[in-house]
C-alpha cells in the first residue's frame, strides 16, 4: 500500500519549484534540516553499533558469563550435598520405623547413640566424598570457563574489527550529509541577500545542482541507514549468540564431568548408607 504525502509537501520543499528568491530561500531551509537529520540519525546508529564493543560492555559480558556459570555450579554443588543428606535421611526413616512408638528417655538415648556413631563413622566420609566431587566439578568448570571466555573474546574481537571497518566506510557518508547541509544553508543565505523578485539564472542553476546533489545524497544516506539498522540487529544477535554459546560450553562440561563422576559417587553413597545401616540394630536393643 502506497503512503503518499500531500502534494503541497513537494511544493514547499523542492527548490526547483520556486519562482522567487524568497520562495527559493524558504525551500532550501527544510532541505538543509533534512540532510542534517539524516546524517545525525546515521551517526547515532553508528554509535549504537559501536557501543557493544566498548570496554564496559565487554567487561559486563564476561561478568555475566561468570555469574551464570557460578550459579549453575552452585546448583550442582547443592545437588551433590542433597544426595548425601538423602541417604542419611533414609537411614533415619528406617530407624524411626524400627524404634517403634516413643518410649521416653530410652528412645532419646538410643537416638543420641545412633547419631554419635553416624557422626563419627559415616558423616565425615560423606562430607569428604561430597567435597571431592564438588571440587572436581569446580576445577572442570574453571577450565571450561577459561576456554569459553577465550573463545568469546576472540569472537567479539573479530566482530569488532568487522564493525570498525564498516563504521569507517559509512562515517564519511554521514559527514557528507552535514557538508551538504552547510552548502544548502549558504545557498539559502545568498538567496536572502539577493533581495526579492525573480531568481537570477546563476542562482537557479546552483539551486538545481544542489537539489540534485541533495536527492542523490539523501537517497544514499537513507539506504545506508536502513541497511545499517539491519546490520546492527545482526551484530546484536551475533554477540548474544556468542555469549550463549560460551555459557553452553561451560554447562556441557559441567554435565559431562558430573556424568563421569556419577558411578564413583553413587558407589561411595551406597557404601556410606550400608555402613550407617549396620548401626540400626544396635541402638534399638536398648
Q: What is the DSSP string of 211-274?
A: HHHHHHHHHHHHHHHHHHHHHHHHHHHHHHHHHHHHHHHHHHHHHHHHHHHHHHHHHHHHHHHH
C-beta separation of 62 from 152 below 8 A: yes
Burial class (CB in 10 A: 0-12, 13-18, 19+), 173: buried
**Residue 104, pLDDT score:** 60
**Residue 285, pLDDT score:** 46
Torsion, Cα of 7, 11, 14, 18 (10° steps): 160
**Residue 244, pLDDT score:** 96
List the beta bridge partners of residue 212. Answer: none
| Chain Cα centroid distance, residue 65 | 9
Q: Kindly state the cell numbers that stand for 228.
A: 545499517
Q: What is the mean pLDDT of each run of 10 residues along the chain (286 residues)?
A: 68 83 88 90 90 91 95 94 90 78 69 86 90 94 96 95 91 87 90 86 90 89 87 92 96 95 92 87 52
CB atoms within 10 A of CB 219: 11
**Residue 245, pLDDT score:** 96
Q: Residue written as cell 567479539?
A: 156
Amino acid at each position: 500500500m502506497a503512503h503518499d504525502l500531500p502534494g503541497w509537501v513537494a511544493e514547499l520543499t523542492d527548490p526547483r519549484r520556486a519562482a522567487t528568491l524568497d520562495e527559493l530561500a524558504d525551500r532550501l531551509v527544510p532541505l538543509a534540516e533534512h540532510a542534517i537529520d539524516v546524517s545525525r540519525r546515521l551517526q547515532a546508529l553508528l554509535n549504537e553499533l559501536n557501543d557493544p564493543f566498548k570496554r564496559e560492555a565487554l567487561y559486563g559480558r564476561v561478568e555475566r558469563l561468570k555469574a551464570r556459570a557460578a550459579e549453575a555450579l552452585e546448583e550442582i554443588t547443592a545437588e551433590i550435598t542433597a544426595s548425601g543428606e538423602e541417604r542419611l535421611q533414609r537411614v533415619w526413616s528406617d530407624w524411626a520405623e524400627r524404634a517403634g512408638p516413643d518410649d521416653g528417655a530410652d528412645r532419646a538415648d538410643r537416638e543420641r547413640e545412633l547419631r554419635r556413631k553416624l557422626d563419627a563413622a559415616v558423616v565425615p566420609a560423606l562430607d569428604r566424598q561430597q567435597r571431592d566431587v564438588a571440587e572436581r566439578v569446580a576445577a572442570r568448570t574453571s577450565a571450561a570457563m577459561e576456554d569459553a571466555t577465550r573463545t568469546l573474546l576472540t569472537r567479539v574481537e573479530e566482530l569488532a574489527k568487522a564493525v570498525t571497518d564498516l563504521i569507517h566506510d559509512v562515517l564519511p557518508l554521514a559527514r557528507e550529509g552535514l557538508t551538504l547541509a552547510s552548502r544548502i544553508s549558504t545557498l539559502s543565505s545568498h538567496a536572502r541577500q539577493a533581495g526579492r523578485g525573480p531568481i537570477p539564472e546563476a542562482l537557479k542553476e546552483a539551486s538545481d545542482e544542489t537539489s540534485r546533489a541533495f536527492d542523490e545524497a539523501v537517497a544514499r544516506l537513507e539506504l545506508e541507514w536502513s541497511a545499517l539498522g539491519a546490520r546492527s540487529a545482526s551484530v546484536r544477535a551475533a554477540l548474544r549468540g556468542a555469549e550463549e554459546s560460551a555459557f553452553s560450553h561451560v554447562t556441557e562440561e559441567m554435565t559431562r564431568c558430573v556424568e563421569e563422576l556419577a558411578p564413583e559417587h553413587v558407589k561411595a553413597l551406597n557404601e556410606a548408607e550400608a555402613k550407617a545401616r549396620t548401626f540400626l540394630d544396635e541402638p534399638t536393643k536398648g
